[in-house]
Structure 1
């Protein structure tokens, strides 16, 4: 009977280990259907028409009245490994100054370029001075005439 429980426990541990290695997929974002995009005409339809036909995007250009960007991503996660983006599509709808559609473009992960993100930090002159040095350094800079 003990051997049977040991085999059952071993089989359960093996099943859990195999289940942990099964990839899981997450989908994020929204891309309008091609049938809906076929209803839009470049140079004719306006921003309001795009909002009515395909809906407003979750992100738009930085300025008010900017271009529309629809993004959809599919991410694969396997166990303890870092998640991997296996599919990304970006639909960009740009508008002319008269608020009509200027261009409709579709990009995929294969079209993308890696953009390195840098963090710029402004150097401060306070770095070499400690707290006490700053505090004591201010005693000579005080003008008693400013108090009255």
Structure 2
């Protein structure tokens, strides 16, 4: 009887220690990389006043984003996020390379920015409401019963 209690106690300890170990391991930070920023060597190949939009895209690749206006520029963005336990991901580093063009589409400037140059801007998704409420087929069918007049039945 004593040996059974001792065995159960040791099994319980093993289960508790294994659970605690798994809990600690699961809280280790995990990193994810998003986006692409060209290297300094690739950016050195871009010549101010000579290269155009097409030659920049051919030399260093297509941009992550481009400006709303045609003459605004190309933007290459890379972000490294740290996921730690149940908390929300936090940006650890962010790089942005902005290549600006003049009205003729020729490169007029290349700038590099980091997370220390600005603030983290939370992106929000804005969706225009359709005004349609959650109406199932049965609810729509029952709702249309009151819209039928006597003249509609005769036709």
Between the aligned partners of 1:25 and 1:61, the Cα distance in structure 2 is 29
Question: Segments of 4+ in structure 1 off by > 3 A?
Answer: 113-118
1:37 aligns with 2:5: no
Name the counterpart of 1:107: 113
Unaligned runs of 5+ in 2: 1-6, 125-155
Q: How many residues align?
A: 118
> Which residue, out of 23, 31, 37, partners 1:25?
31
1:89 aligns with 2:88: no
The C-alpha deviation readout for 1:12-43, integer Å capped at 9, x for no partner, is 11111101221111111000121111111111
Pick closer, same or farther for the CA change 1:114–1:71 going to 2, 3 Å: closer
Structure 1 residue 54 displacement after superposition: 0.5
Give the structure with the higher percent helix.
2
What's the TM-score once normalised by structure 2's chain length? 0.69
Name the counterpart of 1:53: 59
2:14 partner SS? helix
The C-alpha deviation readout for 1:42-90, integer Å capped at 9, x for no partner, is 1111111101110111210012454100000011111122221110000
> Which residue, out of 3, 8, 17, partners 1:11?
17
Between the aligned partners of 1:113 and 1:58, the Cα distance in structure 2 is 19
Pick closer, same or farther for the CA change 1:9–1:117 going to 2, 3 Å: closer
Pick closer, same or farther for the CA change 1:3–1:115 going to 2, 3 Å: closer
Name the counterpart of 2:133: none
Unaligned runs of 5+ in 1: 119-148
What's the TM-score once normalised by structure 1's chain length? 0.73
Between the aligned partners of 1:117 and 1:19, the Cα distance in structure 2 is 31
Between the aligned partners of 2:114 and 2:81, the Cα distance in structure 1 is 14
